[in-house]
Amino acid sequence: MRKLLLLPIIILSLISCQNGPKKSAGKIVFASILPLQYFADQITGSLYHSEVMVPPGVGPETYNPTPRQMGEMAKAGAYFANGFLGFEESNVEKFQSINPNLIFVNTSANLDLIHAEGHSHGDLHHEKGIDPHTWSSPEGARIIAKNILDGMVRIDPANKAVFEANYGRLLTRIDSVDAAVTAILTEIPSRTFMVFHPALGYFAREYHLVQLSIEFEGKVPTPRHIQNIVQEATAKKIRNILIQREFDVENAEIIANETGSKIIQIDPLAYDWPREMISLAHKIAGTDKKMIP
């Protein structure tokens, strides 16, 4: 919870440090990861150029900003953070020192967070006890969108009406993704799915699914954990192992061989959020076209 409290304080202190009318910090906004960039783009429309911190195919846990990114950061108006990625915390002071007017927005604020403690398939390597994958669910997306809208209105109140109209359209799109995913998941053989890295905790909660993670407490699984997973996967007749492209397939292959299941690539860090959500639903339901022989 520390992070949740910290970020609003940063925002408040940035605002209170400014005297008089806010200077325009340019027409750039930053997002930590591609799905957040997608939501920011939907809300800013053509008014802003966006930059993403973590490039495609790279794991966000220990990312280091490049000099070019820091150069762009100096001109940015807002930074849209997940709120729980390690590199955000370690760089926030650097971002602020290079750009004292930067509004740092925790897009996970007001979200009903999943606490990984006491959660057998927690995601502890990101941030102490909190599952950071808030963007991988329509419920999360709606709150993230609202936080981005509020951030944009703060840095550019003159364009409030434009941002609000764009936000309305984004909500409609999120609702239709939600309806499509619900329909895909209505009749599935098993509500338990297996994933290498537990990136789908919010998705699972929203659609009443059970996420079975190969990674255990953020670490490479022990032989004992692999054995437990194999037993559970066999008992629940799980046919597919979902794995993100950022991860090594070696351990997933051991389990795939022992259970006779197939490895299916997912990309929860993709820019095209609607497409990825629907694709995820198909992969969990076993109705993905690529999976039908």
Of 72 and 127, nearer to Zn ion (C-beta) is 127
Question: Which pair of tokens denotes residue 292?
Answer: 């039908």
Instruction: Tell me how far, at minimum, the Cβ of 146 lies from Zn ion, in Å.
Output: 23
Of 199 and 280, nearer to Zn ion (C-beta) is 199
Instruction: Tell me how far, at minimum, the Cβ of 59 lies from Zn ion, in Å.
Output: 8
Of 199 and 281, nearer to Zn ion (C-beta) is 199
- All residues at 6 or more sequence positions from 72 whose CB lies less than 8 Å from its CB, including other chains: 28, 30, 51
Helices (H) and strands (E) in the chain, counts: 10, 8
Instruction: Tell me how far, at minimum, the Cβ of 270 lies from Zn ion, in Å.
Output: 14
Binding mask 109-128 for Zn ion (x = CB under 5 A): --------------------
Of 177 and 199, nearer to Zn ion (C-beta) is 199
Across the beta sheet with 28-31, what order do the strands follow?
A: 49-52, 28-31, 76-81, 103-106
Of 49 and 205, nearer to Zn ion (C-beta) is 205
Instruction: Tell me how far, at minimum, the Cβ of 289 lies from Zn ion, in Å.
Output: 26
Instruction: Tell me how far, at minimum, the Cβ of 62 lies from Zn ion, in Å.
Output: 12
* Side-chain half-sphere CA neighbours of 78 within 13 A: 27
Angle between helices 160-184 and 138-155 (to 10 degrees): 170
Distances (CA, A) of 188 to 57, 124, 205, 288: 30, 29, 16, 12
| Contact set for Zn ion, span 174-203 (CB under 5 A) | 199
Of 51 and 127, nearer to Zn ion (C-beta) is 127
Residue 112: how many CB atoms within 10 A of its CB? Answer: 10
Instruction: Tell me how far, at minimum, the Cβ of 133 lies from Zn ion, in Å.
Output: 6
Residue nearest Zn ion by beta-carbon distance = 199
**Residue numbers of the site for Zn ion (CB under 5 A)?**
199
